[in-house]
């Protein structure tokens, strides 16, 4: 097998395995919380931090980890991140107290961010032409499936073994990924010229995300007019403009150089919007199923198969659709399908029809599959090659932020309508999300390119040179 082809296959396999592991660990712990609380003597006021600690560290460090990988090398940061994630997983499994577990989860999230941020950049530097679109589509589909199936997998592991095994399974797999990365992916050259580290931009970016996360978390739990929520929101209003101003300087953290700023910003915004709609509504769709027809967590997972199944099937068609129609049309079509699925689910929730809800979930899953792979491709194609790590990190950071925003915003609406029943509450959530989907379709047509350079071209003959320059 030529070295370039072997490098492409190893890069895709290692990035995909890591993506599945890192995404699973966002949701897999949810069903294990009762068992963890019983063994470590933790109450409901502390247990949620085992979830939040990972998500907070993961989401905030994604922004800066991508930029670091541009300077230190994508392979290096990816391998270090997977090593940290693996060791922290062992720490989670052996934690003697809830405090140690929360701390280990934070370290696990930090390692996950270091590994996840350069993942798309690794695929971009080892693939081009149609193989790049195909690799992005497959990676996005696998990661989305892992997130959706996390509670089901976690429930099975806890029932068959114990909660520690949701972390222990990461150890041998993570160790293999680290060793295989060092052995199979060639090191890349450092940037040819010095690049100033955007220290102030990094600090402001992390502080802004912390304030946003605090506002969303306290707002959904304590109320949107509570003092902690108002304080966090006020701090966010100060930090966000300051961060935006800091990014206007040359060599700022999010400087795209000679890249297409409008397309890059549009792709990041739509990534945030797509996650807000898909995973933000999934929580309340699951609650509705549990309150109406599901008899157990496993039964809920089975009822969600129309969503996860259509996501997997449609994911196999994204690359061909993008090659034929272009990213703008495919992403806009994905938002239209999402909106159709959500409006169908709204009707099912109000009328109480399970078959109609299955149809809605199938449309929602298919639309979700169409949205994210083209956006990933756009972000690493419209920026200079030396900034693909930054592009990968920012795009990936938009995913957990969109999810957190959707859960908080739709949660407030669901709670306000829940007095009239779960069906009415879900109907309101789905109709609100449908409106957002329509706006996303319009933005996709206006901001994304109709066609990418080399979109219709097969792999170029310089793949050997590209694969040997992994950074």
Q: Is 79 helix (H, G, I), strand (E, B) or coil?
A: helix
Q: Over 114-158, what HEC string results? A: HHHCCHHHHHHHHCCHHHHHHHHHHHHHHHHHHHHHHHHHHHHHH
Contact 82, 110 (CB under 8 A): no
Lowest mean pLDDT among 24-28, 195-199, 212-216, 294-298: 195-199
Could you give the CA distance from residue 413 to residue 433 in angstroms, rounded to a whole number? 11
With respect to residue 315, please indicate whether it lies within any of the assigned structural domains.
yes
Give dist(CA 235, CA 229) in Å, integer. Answer: 10
Angle between helices 119-126 and 3-27 (to 10 degrees): 160
Name every residue whose Cβ is closer than 8 Å to that of residue 250 and which is 6 or more positions away in sequence: none
Phi and psi of 179, rounded to 5°? -65, -40
Is residue 242 located within the same domain as residue 264? no
Task: Tell whether 299 and 205 lie within a shared domain.
Answer: no
Tell me if residue 254 falls in helix, strand or coil: coil
pLDDT at 466 exceeding the cut of 80: no
Instruction: Report d(CA 330, CA 441) in Å as an integer.
Output: 10
Q: What's the CA dihedral at 413, 417, 418, 419 to 10 degrees?
A: 150
Q: What does each C-alpha distance from 408 to 109, 369, 415 come to in angstroms?
A: 21, 23, 10
Residue 462 has pLDDT above 60, yes or no: no
122-174: pLDDT as tens digits: 877 777 766 766 777 677 777 766 666 666 676 677 667 778 888 888 899 99
**Is the residue at 470 inside a domain?**
no
Place of tokens 């199936």: 149
Question: Do both 7 and 77 map to the same domain?
Answer: yes
End-to-end CA separation in angstroms for the chain: 22
For tokens 């300087």, what's the residue? 249
Across 3-7, 97-101, 332-336, 464-468, least confident range:
464-468
Which of 132, 161, 187 is a domain's end point?
Answer: 187
End residue of a domain, out of 137, 164, 187: 187
Residue 288 located in a structural domain = yes
Name the E strands within 292-391.
none
pTM of the complete model: 0.72
Query: Tokens 């990988």, residue?
Result: 69
Do residues 129 and 276 share a domain?
A: no
Q: Which residues contact 353 (CB under 8 A, 6 or more apart)?
A: 347
According to the model, what pLDDT value does residue 461 have? 44
Most confident residue range from 338-352, 402-416, 430-444: 430-444
Burial class (CB in 10 A: 0-12, 13-18, 19+), 237: exposed
State pLDDT tens for residues 47-61.
767 777 787 778 777
Query: Is 123 within the bounds of a domain?
Result: yes
Number of domains the chain is built from: 3
The CATH number covering residue 114 comes to: 1.20.1250.20
DSSP string, 281-320: HHHHHHHHHHHHT--SHHHHHHHTHHHHHHHHHHHTTHHH
Q: In whole angstroms, give the CA distance from residue 471 to residue 457.
A: 24
Residues 205, 139 share a domain? no
Q: From CA 113, how far away is CA 119, in angstroms rounded?
A: 10
pLDDT on residue 313: 82
- DSSP sequence for 407-454: HHHHHHHHHHHGGG-HHHHHHHHHHHHHHHHHHHHHHHHHHS-SS-TT
Residues 6+ apart with CB under 8 A from 69: 76, 77, 78, 114, 117, 118, 121, 389, 392, 393, 471
The model's confidence at residue 441, banded by pLDDT at 50, 70 and 90, is very high
* Domain edge (last residue) among 131, 164, 187: 187
Same domain, 300 and 358: yes
Q: Identify whether residues 114 and 31 lie together within a single domain.
A: yes
Helix axes 354-381, 388-417, angle to 10 degrees: 150
CB contact at 8 A, 129 and 458: yes
Task: Quote the percentage of the chain above a pLDDT of 70.
Answer: 79
Q: What are the structure tokens assigned to 125, written together?
A: 């530097």
Residue 229 CB-density burial (10 A; 0-12 exposed, 13-18 middle, 19+ buried): buried
Residues 182 and 117 in one domain: yes
Instruction: Give domain status of residue 240, yes or no.
Output: yes
pLDDT at 199 over 70: no
What sign does the CA torsion over 114, 256, 137, 125 have? negative
139 and 267 together in one domain: no
Single out the residue of 120, 136, 82 nearest to residue 455, CA to CA: 136
The rounded distance, in Å, linking the Cα atoms of 122 and 389 is: 8
By C-alpha distance, which of 272, 400, 288 is closest to 346? 288
Q: Are residues 178 and 278 in the same domain?
A: no
Domain coverage including residue 323: 260-455
State whether 137 and 112 are in the same domain: yes
**Does residue 220 belong to any structural domain of this protein?**
yes
pLDDT (0 to 100) of residue 282: 81
- Assigned domain for 463 exists: no
Predicted confidence (pLDDT) per residue in 315-344, tens digit: 778 878 887 888 899 999 999 999 999 999
Please provide residue 127's backbone torsions phi and psi, each rounded to the nearest 5 degrees. Answer: -135, 150
**The length of the chain, given as a count of residues:** 471
DSSP H or E run through 420: none
Instruction: Answer yes or no: do 204 and 84 share one domain.
Output: no
| Helix (H) and strand (E) counts in the chain | 20, 0
Q: Is residue 468 part of a domain?
A: no
Looking at the predicted structure, is the pLDDT value of residue 184 above 60?
yes
261 contact partners, CB below 8 Å, separation of at least 6:
none
Rounded-to-integer distance, Cα 142 and Cα 228, Å? 37
Rg, C-alpha atoms of the chain: 21
């Amino acid at each position: 097998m030529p070295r370039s082809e072997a490098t492409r296959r190893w890069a895709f396999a290692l990035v995909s395995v890591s993506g599945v592991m890192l995404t699973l660990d966002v949701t897999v712990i949810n069903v294990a919380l009762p068992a963890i609380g019983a063994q470590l003597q933790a109450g409901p006021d502390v247990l949620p931090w085992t979830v939040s600690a990972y998500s907070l560290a993961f989401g905030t460090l994604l922004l800066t980890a991508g930029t670091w990988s541009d300077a230190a090398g994508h392979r290096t940061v990816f391998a270090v991140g997977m090593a940290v994630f693996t060791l922290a997983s062992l720490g989670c499994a052996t934690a003697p107290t809830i405090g140690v577990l929360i701390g280990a989860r934070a370290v696990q999230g930090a390692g996950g961010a270091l590994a996840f941020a350069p993942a798309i950049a690794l695929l971009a530097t080892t693939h081009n032409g149609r193989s790049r679109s195909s690799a992005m589509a497959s990676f996005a589909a696998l990661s989305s499936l892992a997130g959706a199936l996390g509670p089901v997998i976690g429930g099975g592991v806890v029932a068959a073994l114990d909660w520690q095994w949701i972390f222990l399974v990461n150890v041998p797999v993570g160790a293999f990924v680290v060793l295989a990365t060092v052995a199979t992916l060639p090191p890349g050259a450092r940037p040819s010229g010095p690049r100033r580290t955007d220290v102030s931009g990094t600090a402001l970016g992390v502080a802004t995300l912390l304030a946003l996360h605090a506002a969303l978390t306290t707002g959904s739990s304590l109320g949107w007019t509570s003092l902690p929520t108002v304080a966090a929101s006020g701090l966010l209003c100060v930090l966000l403009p300051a961060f935006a101003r800091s990014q206007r300087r040359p060599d700022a953290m999010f400087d795209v150089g000679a890249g297409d700023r409008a397309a890059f910003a549009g792709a990041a915004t739509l990534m945030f919007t797509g996650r807000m709609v898909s995973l933000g509504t999934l929580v309340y769709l699951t609650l509705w199923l549990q309150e109406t027809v599901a008899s157990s967590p496993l039964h809920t997972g089975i009822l969600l198969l129309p969503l996860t199944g259509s996501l997997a099937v449609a994911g196999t068609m994204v690359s061909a659709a993008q090659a034929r129609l272009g990213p703008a049309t495919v992403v806009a079509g994905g938002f239209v399908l999402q909106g159709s699925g959500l409006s169908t689910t709204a009707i099912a929730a109000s009328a109480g029809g399970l078959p109609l809800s299955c149809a809605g979930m199938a449309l929602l899953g298919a639309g979700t599959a169409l949205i994210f792979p083209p956006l990933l491709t756009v972000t690493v194609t419209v920026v200079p090659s030396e900034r693909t790590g930054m592009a990968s990190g920012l795009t990936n950071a938009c995913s957990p932020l969109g999810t957190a925003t959707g859960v908080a915003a739709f949660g407030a609406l669901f709670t306000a309508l829940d007095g009239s029943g779960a069906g009415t509450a879900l109907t309101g959530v789905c109709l609100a999300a449908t409106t957002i989907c329509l706006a996303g379709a319009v933005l996709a047509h206006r901001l994304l390119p109709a066609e990418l350079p080399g979109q219709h071209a097969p792999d170029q003959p310089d793949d050997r040179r590209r694969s040997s320059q992994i950074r």
